[in-house]
Structure 1
Amino acid sequence: MPRPRFHRILLKLSGEALMGQGQFGIDPATVASMAGEIAAAKEAGHELCLVVGGGNIFRGIAGAAQGFDRATGDYMGMLATVMNALAVQNALEKIGVDTRVQSAIPMSSVCEPYIRRRAMRHMEKGRIVIFAAGTGNPYFTTDTAAALRAAEMGCDALFKGTSVDGVYDADPKKVAGATRYDSLSFNRVLADDLKVMDASAVALCRDNKIPIVVFNIRQPGNLAEVLAGRGIATIVQNEE
């Protein structure tokens, strides 16, 4: 299936992608490397916005399993995403890329509040907008926030950067013979419960006809390759 060229994209980064080889926290070298990837995509003519997870610092559902109230845990996780967003912003601005961080939980001392029209204006001016604090509501993941922001920003696709090169029928880190898909339908992902994103995010992308492109963000230069249609990735989209 030919891979279409996407102009405006939302890039979803997991918090774990910022850890590098560590087990916790933010690795400055890894963040700097990802900033370079994002800058290269911008130089290639793409408009970008980002959603960053917070699992490298705190994950709400894991906190709930350890005794935290789920809503409280989710709010703590949202604050972790703000820390990650500021780290990515810092790395991008160090290499001369103009950015704005917008948080769904207002904290005017460190970033802008999320305002859709302002975010769209930033993108029109060539800035990279980093959306933090998820949707601003507990019980919703940053995957759902990414799908929501992609729809609100009128993105052509949602790119999910992971540590594997696409979607498999089993975990390739655990199952040696796992099969990678080049393309999938949204309905197949939901029916087979493939771990691409959570079901609400997949359904939101399906209903708004936003393809999900899953690729390996840890491989240097891979974002630009996938955007150009040459890299290895899995595209999840509506059936023809």
Structure 2
Amino acid sequence: APHGLGGAALGFDHSAMVREMAHARDSLLQRFVEMQAQQLSARVSARVQRTDWLLCPTPRAVTELVQLVVSDLHQMQLLAAQLHSNEPAKPMVPMGPFPALSSLMQLVQQRSRQQGSSITKDLQRMFARKVDLGMTSSAADGQPTLSGMLTHVAKLTLKTLLEEVRATTFGRAGFQQTQVDVSMLRWVLLTVVNDEESVLALLDEVFISCQERCLDVMPLEQAVIEALCESERQRLLVSLS
């Protein structure tokens, strides 16, 4: 046996040590993601609660709520990318065409003053409650991925936003501002998440809940929404470059 080590050197289990280190790494990574989600969710709650959604002005841009979500996710992406050097980070700035409205959002806008859409709302709410909020992975070995971590934080943040919207009363401009913000989040988040269905379901539910909590529903024209979101996209091209 090597001098000074005795039989300990012969009993060293390299594979077990590697497994323990990998487990510790994954546990720390999971904790990091949960802390990011908690911090961003708290900031979103505070931002919604500070805003007077009954008397806010007609939307002329996306709100700080969208900007802080995008900024925080971008900072998390930069930090986590150091641990996932083999996975290219997806651009946070949307480069594709503006996404079309989901069929559900189109229906809600068309029937915004009718009771007939209540069945559709109930069905969507049932689906939103079943959204998996756990951290998903697209890696073959089941390990956390960069896109999986961003998706997890995004879903928990949107769930927080949904709960805040359900406890808020909106005026016409407040509803329209939420319409713009949800549209921008839809455009940005779909470029970086790996669970588009769940993210879209949560965004749809935020919009539906806002419509239900609004005293004077009057949706903005789609062309106006696209123009405001394009203006924000141009700002992101500069700020995130």
TM range (shorter): under 0.3
- Tell me which protein shows more helix as a share of its residues: 2
TM (norm. structure 1) is: 0.27
Higher RCO (CA < 8 A, seq sep 6+): 2
TM (norm. structure 2) is: 0.27
Report which of the two structures shows the higher radius of gyration computed on alpha carbons. 2
